[in-house]
Structure 1
Amino acid sequence: MQYLGHEKGDPQFDEHRRTFITEEDFQNISAAGLNTVRIPIGYWIVGFDHSWGNGTDTWKVYAPDALDYLDKAIREWAPAQNILVLISFHAAKGSQNGNDNSSPETLGETNWFAHQENINNTLDAVEFLANRYKNETAFLGIGLLNEPQSNASDVPILQQYYKDAYVRIRNNVGSDCLLTVMPMLWQQGPYDGNWATFMLPPDYYNMRHEWHDYHVWGFGADKWTPDKIITWINSVETKYYDEWKGNGIFVGEWCIASQFDMDDKTLKRFADAQIKMFKKAVGGWTYWTWKYYEYPLAVDTKSEWSMKAMIQRGMLVW
């Protein structure tokens, strides 16, 4: 949008939003036997920034009216198909991980942790969303922050944000919606930090601990084969879910993409191993993603990143 400007960019975003995910997709998701959709959003969706400090107009750079489509998903499409919606806070002001999925002003820079006004903006936004949808039957809850990534000294800042968000949503809004918390990306496992004892009942309720479990990065051909990955899932990784002692695990992202060109038989074994493991996640799972764009801009019907394509191909059965 910084490059295109609103005159050229807004119509393109509107066209994408109108056509990429539609009511028909929710019908297909329901027909596939799925009951939950996780929708990523950015801080600009709420259309305001009441935090103090500099940069309170940065949300205006983005294409407007995204909230209209979230409204439509939660208030019309999802309830018509008996689907629940989990809102995932993917892009916090200042960026919580520096990656493209959090829309940093400069790729690689993480400024969310360092500035309280950015955290305040996120708190205001999740409170706004919880209040907006608290009476909607299809509103499941909010993933409070997607894939935070910083050093160990920032873990207390992250955990305090989660506690503050909980108070805002439970006390200010009066909502008992589901809330998921994510550790730092490097802390996803049963032994990392104090997350297994974080925000537990009875002091906190309706909480889930979110992991993202991919077998793409770190599973290259220099050390791995498809059979080795499948064996590792079945014999080693599955124990992580058995040994976890904290709030119920929700696998917010996974897929059957890899660094290998697997034949259908091997790919099905790879998918089955993951699905079997994820049945141990009491909070369930959501796949990343329902549809996948390839270049030139067209929906790819073969990519392992596309759940729709993999269901049609017979690779995903649960």
Structure 2
Amino acid sequence: MQLLKTFCLGLAALTAATAEHVKFQLRNGQLPARAVNLGGWLVAEHWMTGSSPIWNGVPDDVANQGEFATMKHLGHGNGDWRFEQHRANWITEGDIREIASRGLNAVRVPIGYWIMGYDPADWSNHEEYKIFAPGALKYLDTLINNWAARHNVAVIVSLHAHKGSQNGRDHSAAPDSGKKYWSKYAENIENSVAWAKFIAGRYKDSDAFLGLNLMNKPEYDTDPNVVRSYFERAYREIRATGNDCVLITSPMLNEQNPGSMANFMNFPAFYNVWHDWHPYFVWGYDGKNEEQLIDAVKQYGRTNLAPWTGNWLFLGEWSMASPGSAPFRDDAQFRRYGQTLLDVFQGAHQGWSYWSWKVSGDENGKNGWSMRNMLRNGHLRL
């Protein structure tokens, strides 16, 4: 009887803990996400992780192409241990603890298709996934099943680097830098659907798993019709398993505006679908001074956020980085810039995710790409 009582009490406590996880409030739209990206961790980016052992002795023109080119250069004998060290140290439970203590309720974590450890649609037999350093999946497991569950932080997994590359960038580990092959070959789309189902299925019953960003930053000449067809197919196949996790769609990079995809995958035919924009105020704002940049942020709210009529909007990336013409050397003015961003971004129903939690060298000075630097130094106040 005592054993049964103990079991029941334990089950009740587990059920209560599960019901109380912030993931459920976020998924139901009761809370907006106040999130931060774990950038540079499971998809390494040289520009923001320069202190990592990955890059020692790797020429910049190779490192700046991303993981594929870097591992081709290093080989497994010299590369695997570097990536293992990087993954073990770039993000730790201490980071998740601090993220929670700062009042944030979610993280967005970029991953690459190679995290599966195999390619379910390698019809060409190129075996490109074998180029990458193995072993990233255990870190994603630990993040979702342990750290985030323990510290009441929800996890959005961003499918950042698709096979063949959807944008040719370093953060999609393009096999041919600048080239976008994803939509040109059916095996790439098949791989993406299988990958989305793999991640959604693996964490379906994990307390902290909020959902998937199905594709990060697709760019032309990736075919937008193929992108949208993939979104719909991934939705159908994931929902067919009884999984109601959040699924986040993205427009083409230069079409993040109210006129694009407002009528795509809408409720009630589709549910738990969010839409992703990345409002940065660093590129395309050269020449604007500090006041003009702050005004541009306010204008963005009026012309982009306010008119949006589509699925719940999620601002998956933003930062306090600014162009050289608006250096924000005065701390009070910099705080005003940050507060303006926060105020305007309240117009996105499902919140936002800062890019990124940390960058190399952010322990000193002022770095708008590092949220921990902004929070620790009082430049951003949530």
Q: Report the TM-score range of the alignment, normalised by the length of the smaller protein.
A: over 0.9
Matched, 1:246 2:314: no
Matched ranges for 1:182-261 at <5 A = 182-192=250-260, 195-221=261-287, 224-260=288-324, 261=327
Choose which of 107, 110, 125 in structure 1 pairs with 2:177.
Answer: 107
CA distance in 2, matches of 1:205, 1:74: 23
Post-superposition offset of 1:238:
3.5
Question: Unpaired segments of 5 or more residues in structure 1?
Answer: none
* Distance in 1 of aligned mates of 2:125 and 2:192: 14
Q: Which residue of 1 aligns with 2:62?
A: none
The equivalent residue for 2:23 is: none
Deviation at 1:277, TM superposition (A): 1.0
Opposite residue 208 of structure 1, the aligned amino acid is W
Q: Specify the SS of the correspondent of 1:253.
A: coil
The equivalent of 2:197 in structure 1 is 127
Q: What per-residue deviation string (whole Å, max 9, x for no partner) do you get for residues 96-121 of structure 1?
A: 00111101111100000111100110
Matched, 1:274 2:344: no
The answer for the alignment partner of 1:287 in structure 2 is 354
Aligned residues: 309
Map 1:104-183; keep pairs closer than 5 Å. Answer: 104-151=174-221, 154-171=223-240, 173-183=241-251
Partner residue in 1 for 2:101? 31
Letter in 2 for 1:281: A
Give the alignment of 1:31-70 within 5 angstroms. Answer: 31-70=101-140
CA distance in 2, matches of 1:302, 1:22: 23
Kindly provide the CA deviation profile for residues 174-232 of structure 1, in whole angstroms up to 9, marking residues without a partner as x: 2100010000001101123xx000000111000100000101110112xx111101112
Task: Provide the residue aligned with 2:33 in structure 1.
Answer: none
- The 3-state SS of whatever aligns with 1:165 is helix
Distance 1:196 1:269 in 2: 31
TM-superposed deviation, 1:241:
0.8
1:52 positional shift: 4.5
Change (3 A) 1:55 1:255: farther
2:336 corresponds to which letter in structure 1?
R
Is the Cα–Cα contact under 8 Å of residues 292 and 300 in structure 1 kept in the other structure? no
Decide which structure has the larger Cα Rg and report it.
2
Q: 2:332 aligns with which of 265, 270, 274?
A: 265
How far 1:265 sits from its partner (Å)?
1.8
> What does residue 149 of structure 2 align with?
79
More contact order relative to length (CA 8 Å, sep ≥ 6)? 2
- Cα distance in structure 2, aligned partners of 1:301 and 1:112: 39
Candidates 305, 311, 314, aligned match of 2:375: 311
% identity of equivalent residues = 40
- SS of corresponding position for 1:113: helix
What is the rounded CA distance, in whole Å, between the counterparts of 2:255 and 2:317 in structure 1? 15
The one-character-per-residue Cα deviations of 1:17-73 (angstroms, maximum 9, x if unpaired) are: 111100000000000000000000000001111114214511111111100000000
C-alpha displacement at 1:301, in angstroms? 5.7
TM-score (norm 2): 0.79
Contact 2:301 2:345 in 1 (8 A): no
Name the residue aligned to 2:18. none
Quick check: 1:293–1:300 contact (8 Å CA) kept in 2?
Answer: no
The Cα RMSD (Å) is 1.4
The whole-number CA distance in structure 1 between the counterparts of 2:336 and 2:346 is: 16
Partner-residue secondary structure (3-state), 1:239: helix
> How far did residue 235 of structure 1 move?
3.5
Q: Hey, which bits of structure 1, 4+ residues long, moved more than 6 A?
A: none
Q: SS of the residue aligned with 2:352?
A: coil
Where does structure 2 lack aligned partners over 5 or more consecutive residues?
1-70
Note closer, same or farther for the CA distance 1:315–1:115 as it changes in structure 2 (3 Å cut): same
Report the Cα offset of residue 239 of structure 1.
3.4
